[in-house]
Amino acid sequence: MINARITVTLKTGVLDPQGKAIGGALAALGFAGVAGVRQGKVFDVTLDHDDRARAAAELADMCEKLLANTVIEDYAVEID
Amino acid sequence: MRAVVVLLPGLNRDRDMIAALRTITGHEPLTLWQTDTQLPARTDLVVIPGGFSFGDYLRCGAIGARMPVMRAVAEAARRGVRVLGVCNGFQILLEAGLLPGALMRNASLNFVCKTVRLQVVNADTAFTRGYRPGQVIDCPVAHHDGNYFADAGTLARLHDANRIVLRYAEGTNPNGSTDDIAGIVNSEGNVLGLMPHPENRIEPAHGGTDGRALFESALGLVSA
């Protein structure tokens, strides 16, 4: 089994109104000095085999085809 | 002309769309389910209605765009069949790669449900020839993710090829959409996606009939 973590974040330059609202809420809670918040998604994916090279290719393909919208999002894959 | 409405779990404007097509054409449109892999013979217009397909899970339209029925829709679009996506239907067309760009959370973070003014920027498409160039119409919007985004190169291409078909009229942009974009077509001009709901503006009981010409155009009911 291979466990992988995929992190999807908005590309630099893409406006993130949700991140902005979260930053505002942090300020409202008294957290001073938050210069910015960008929000994203995390996917923990478990594969039923142990082939790390195959896993890297499969996970990148999953990101390209579904998990990230590469028009607006970047992704990073970490394999345990 | 034969119109077909795509049905996916979580869409909720399908009945409005079917009613609009019935009212305009005088007969019942056919429907397709997510697992269908073929369009009915002689389909002229495929309509993907609004709603929240698959609960907007992952991203709006992301799951719907990857259902088997969308492969058939994409194949039909390549053959020149007209495809119209409204609201979630527009999001699905973007996620399916049939139109460029993405629809993001409204800049206000609020769900907007109101009537906006739309300008018909390009009245020379299969979907808008029933309008006058520059005509401003009333049309309802109801969405949380209608904030159109595309990179600068894509925006320039859309602009240069006159593919921005509908814009929110000045001062009425409800969602922060780039360049007030409300609707775009593909480069071949046979696929239109828009956030507003013309199907909810087709008979006097709706408070106006401004949306009717879009369907009459798409169905070939207005002379070119």
User: B194 lies in a domain?
Assistant: yes
CA distance A72 to chain B (A): 7
Domain contains B30: yes
pLDDT 10s digits, A47-73: 999 999 999 999 999 999 999 999 999
User: What phi and psi values does residue A73 have, to the nearest 5 degrees?
Assistant: -125, 150
Average pLDDT over residues B131-138: 98
Question: Do A17 and B58 lie within an 8 Å CB cutoff?
Answer: no
Substitution target from A16, A39, A42, A72 for chain B, most B beta carbons within 10 A: A72
Of B95, B143, B199, B206, the catalytic one is: B199
Q: Where are the domains of chain A?
A: 2-79
Q: Is A2 helix (H, G, I), strand (E, B) or coil?
A: strand
Of B137, B156, B65, B75, the closest CA to residue B103 belongs to: B65
- Above 90 in pLDDT, residue A75? yes
Q: What is the mean pLDDT of chain B?
A: 97
Active site residue B87: yes
Provide the ipTM: 0.88
Q: Which of B95, B105, B108 sits opposite A69 (nearest CB)?
A: B95
The domain that holds B212 is classified in CATH as: 3.40.50.880
Does B55 score more than 90 pLDDT?
yes
Q: What is the pLDDT of residue B224?
A: 58
Predicted pLDDT at A61: 98
Q: Which of B143, B144, B197, B206 is labelled catalytic?
A: B197
The Cα–Cα gap between B10 and A5 comes to 29
Is residue B224 a part of any domain in this protein? Answer: no
Q: What is the pLDDT of residue B223?
A: 73
Q: Is residue B38 part of a domain?
A: yes
CB contact at 8 A, B78 and B136: no
Top pLDDT among B167 and B223 is at B167
CB contact under 8 A, B176 and A71: no
Within a domain: B223: no
Query: Is residue B159 within a helix (H) or strand (E), and if so which, with residue range?
Result: helix B152-160
pLDDT (tens digit, 9 = 90+) per residue, B68-94?
Answer: 999 999 999 999 999 999 999 999 999
- Of B59, B109, B151, Cβ closest to residue A18: B109
pTM for this structure? 0.95
What is the average pLDDT across B172-199? 98
**Of A10, A14, A24, nearest to A76 (Cα)?**
A10
DSSP single-letter state for residue B111: -
Structural domain total, chain B: 1
**What would the mean pLDDT of B172-196 be, rounded to a whole number?**
97
Q: Domain of residue B185: give its range.
A: 3-218
Q: What is the dihedral of CA B187, B190, B194, B196, to 10 degrees?
A: 150
Instruction: Give the closest of B66, B102, B105 to A71, CB-based.
Output: B102
Residue B142 pairs in a beta bridge with B113
- State whether residue A17 sits within 8 Å of chain B by CB: yes
Environment class of B44 (CB within 10 Å of its CB; exposed 0-12, middle 13-18, buried 19+) = middle
Which residues of B have a CB under 8 Å from any CB of A?
A: 58-59, 62, 66, 94-95, 100-102, 104-109, 147, 149-151, 176
CATH number of A2-79: 3.30.1280.10
